[in-house]
Amino acid sequence: MQQVSVIFPYLPIPAHRRRDRARQRLREMFGTIIRARKASGRSEEDMLQCLIDYRYKKDGRPTTEDEIAGLLTTMLFGAQETSSITTTWTGAYLLQFRRYLAAAVEEQKEIMKRHGDGRIDHDVLAEMDVLYRCIKEALRLQPPTPIVFRWSHADLAVTTKEGEELIVPKGQIVSASAAVANRLPHVYKDPDAYDPDRFAPGRSEDKAAGALSYISFGGGKHRCIGDAFAYLEIKTVWAHLLRNFELELVSPFPENEWNSMVVGVKGKLMVKYTRRKLVVDGN
Ligand code: HEM
């Protein structure tokens, strides 16, 4: 999505026409699924069922087919773009700062020693702390949603770290930028450096200024609910790549695509790869 789409969502440009056609097609596909589920009389334990069964607290009315299709579309794309962008940035940083790549490969070997090379499930992924910190640090430096917005429902008093008191008046839109907050020098040491160890026990810089020190997933009531799942996805991709490929970055380290709403990598990130099978003893 481009930035212009936020300000003028219905501007008659080719991108919006393609979006509307795709939205209509998705609407039809989800509609078929929703109707089939309702007609079957089955009740499954999944998100679709939650949305079908939901009743609005205000008047008790059920969700409409259109609303369910809209929510499913949002979840599908919101979650997919942010996770794939973070997967790419993680790779860019690992291949640029190869000492962390070596540490992540070493961790895979240790894990393969404990669990064998065929098993990558939830519990095994939970042991990948080094990889977790590498992803988290890429996401600190490159949050795909660099700004979140809130509507102030009441006058809000805020005290700055210098002790100055400010009032955010009721009715204002307030924005917080992860791109700025995640690099504050009084929270993060050498904030522009890629240093996954800053999250290691003993340093825990992401807690240095309280709960909102690290806001790549937003914060407060509308904080991302998919963060744990995102880490699982990204770890799965990178565990597979680290175990099966030797990788080298052949394009320059990427710049940001600021023109896009969900900010990713500008242009192509080119990587040279050689297939390999990581073995526990040796390489
Ligand atoms: C690296 C990946 C991801 C990033 C960086 C990310 C980031 C964010 C951010 C910044 C917000 C807004 C929070 C706010 O306004 O304070 C958000 C909301 C949300 N995210 Fe994610 N997200 C990611 C992955 C996912 C995944 C995988 C899912 C679902 C499986 C997901 C589901 C949601 C939902 C449902 C919300 C809305 C929460 C609400 O409004 O109450 N996200 N995400």
User: Which domains occur in the chain, in start order?
Assistant: 64-275 (1.10.630.10)
Atom of ligand 1 nearest to the CA of 218: 16
Q: What pLDDT, on the 0 to 100 scale, is given for residue 283? A: 45
The predicted-structure confidence for 232-254, as pLDDT tens digits, reads as follows 999 999 999 999 999 999 999 99
Average pLDDT, the chain: 94
What sign for the dihedral angle of Cα 70, 73, 77, 78?
positive
Is 134 known to sit in a ligand binding site? no
What is the residue with the minimal CA distance to atom 20 of ligand 1?
224
| 170-224 pLDDT, tens digit each | 999 999 999 999 999 999 999 999 999 999 999 999 999 898 999 999 999 899 9
Instruction: Give the percent of the chain with pLDDT over 90.
Output: 84
CA of 246 to the centre of ligand 1 (A): 32
Angle between helices 129-141 and 65-96 (to 10 degrees): 100
Centre of ligand 1 to C-alpha 168, Å, is 25
Q: How confident is the model at residue 257 (pLDDT cuts 50, 70, 90)?
A: very high
Is residue 107 predicted with pLDDT exceeding 80?
Answer: yes
pLDDT tens profile 130-159: 999 999 999 999 999 999 999 999 999 999
Compute the distance from residue 216 Cα to the ligand 1 centre, in Å.
9
Find the mean pLDDT for residues 22-44: 95
| Tokens at 241, concatenated | 């790549």
Atom of ligand 1 nearest to the CA of 80: 27
Q: Model pTM greater than 0.85?
A: yes
Alpha-carbon Rg for the chain in angstroms: 22
* Distance between Cα 226 and ligand 1 center (Å): 6
pLDDT for res 282 = 47
Nearest atom (ligand 1) to Cα of 222: 41
Name which residue sits closest to atom 9 of ligand 1, judged by CA.
217
Pairing of strands 256-257, 165-168: unpaired
CA distance 281 to 224: 40
CB atoms < 10 A from the CB of 78, how many? Answer: 15
Mutate to test the pocket of ligand 1, among 85, 151, 173, 217 (most ligand atoms within 8 A of CB): 217
> Residue 219 Cα, ligand 1 centroid: separation in angstroms?
10
In this structure, which amino acid lies at residue 46?
D
CA distances from 155 to 27, 161, 176, 223, 263 (A): 40, 19, 17, 22, 31
Other C-beta atoms within 10 Å of 29: how many? 13
**Ligand 1: residues within 6 Å at CB?**
75, 78-79, 82-83, 86, 139, 144-145, 148, 216-219, 222-226, 229-230
Q: How confident is the model at residue 117 (pLDDT cuts 50, 70, 90)?
A: confident
Position 159 scores a pLDDT of 92
